[in-house]
Structure 1
């Protein structure tokens, strides 16, 4: 019994895995995805417009606040047509204007100033002009970006981009 071979036991190594780097990377990924999800949420304002019938007249509209609404129609060849109020009873008749400081920006600043003064006279703190931007199918993306830049420069906080044209607005674009 003395010459029996001894069992060879292997040494057990310490199998310790350092997960510090993995935890750091996972936290960075979690933060990255949380930020991208937050930035991907659409941001829009609510625009409440009265309903309209087939003739284009607005139902239930007493016409007491139409002076606050400025509509901008965008068409091809850098054409801009603006009017204030409702098209069938405009406060400012439709007219063609140009881009830039002496064109659309001047109109936006003047209209916003008038609306704010009118609100102050009535004892209400007004929120300024509401602009409805209507790009036609013929207008290009650059024109829309230019108008949105003009909204920012002019300090217009309430605006909406709508792709719906009334028949009267379509006729107005075709005639100019």
Structure 2
């Protein structure tokens, strides 16, 4: 909107904001239409019913290909390979477990024993739900296909070790 000044007296300058407002609405519309709205993704976790009898076709885990991770308090984990009590657990921070999982998976896959590498996660009473979610996310990111959750069968020797280390 241009105005023609025909008078002899100087008019005060005036700024027309109409084109600026039009441009703002065009930009807002463009960004709204081109933005991808992401939806949160949920991970399916299935556990058998406690009242259900043990199935006859139970999956037997190979000790050389099984890593057990015990979630403790203060973002600490204790892990061991194989059977409980046959090897001393290692205490690590939750954010260091990725390296240990990868090393153990490589050793297990190079051992010559058939079967899939399995991570058995055992959340304890000292762990938080956030630690559990972080652990499951880490396993998903690392593409560990065989992972199991067992919060019901934490052995007394595992509990005793974690109490001695102050993470239960």
Shorter-chain TM-score category? 0.5 to 0.7
**What is the deviation of 1:115?**
1.3
Structure 1 gap segments, 5+ residues each: 1-40, 51-64
Query: For the Cα contact (< 8 Å) 2:47–2:149, is it kept in 1?
Result: no
Instruction: Summarize deviations over 1:43-88 as a string: whole Å, max 9, x none.
Output: 56996358xxxxxxxxxxxxxx311111100111111001111122
Q: Which SS does the other structure have where 1:71 is aligned?
A: strand
Are residues 1:170 and 2:159 paired?
yes
Instruction: Summarize deviations over 1:12-71 as a string: whole Å, max 9, x none.
Output: xxxxxxxxxxxxxxxxxxxxxxxxxxxxx9756996358xxxxxxxxxxxxxx3111111
Are residues 1:161 and 2:149 paired?
yes
Distance in 2 separating the partners of 1:171 and 1:142: 23
Distance in 2 separating the partners of 1:75 and 1:175: 12
Are residues 1:133 and 2:136 paired?
no
The runs of at least 4 aligned residues of structure 1 exceeding 2 Å deviation read 41-50
Rg larger in 1 or in 2? 1
Alpha-carbon distance change, 137 to 47 in structure 1, aligned in 2, over 3 angstroms = farther
What does residue 110 of structure 2 align with?
117
Alpha-carbon distance change, 47 to 83 in structure 1, aligned in 2, over 3 angstroms = farther
Distance in 2 separating the partners of 1:97 and 1:136: 15
Task: Specify which of 51, 55, 71 is matched with residue 74 of structure 1.
Answer: 71
TM-score of the superposition, structure 1-length normalised? 0.57
TM-score of the superposition, structure 2-length normalised? 0.60
Root-mean-square deviation over aligned CA pairs: 2.6
Q: Which SS does the other structure have where 1:67 is aligned?
A: helix
What does residue 99 of structure 2 align with?
106
Distance in 2 separating the partners of 1:136 and 1:175: 14
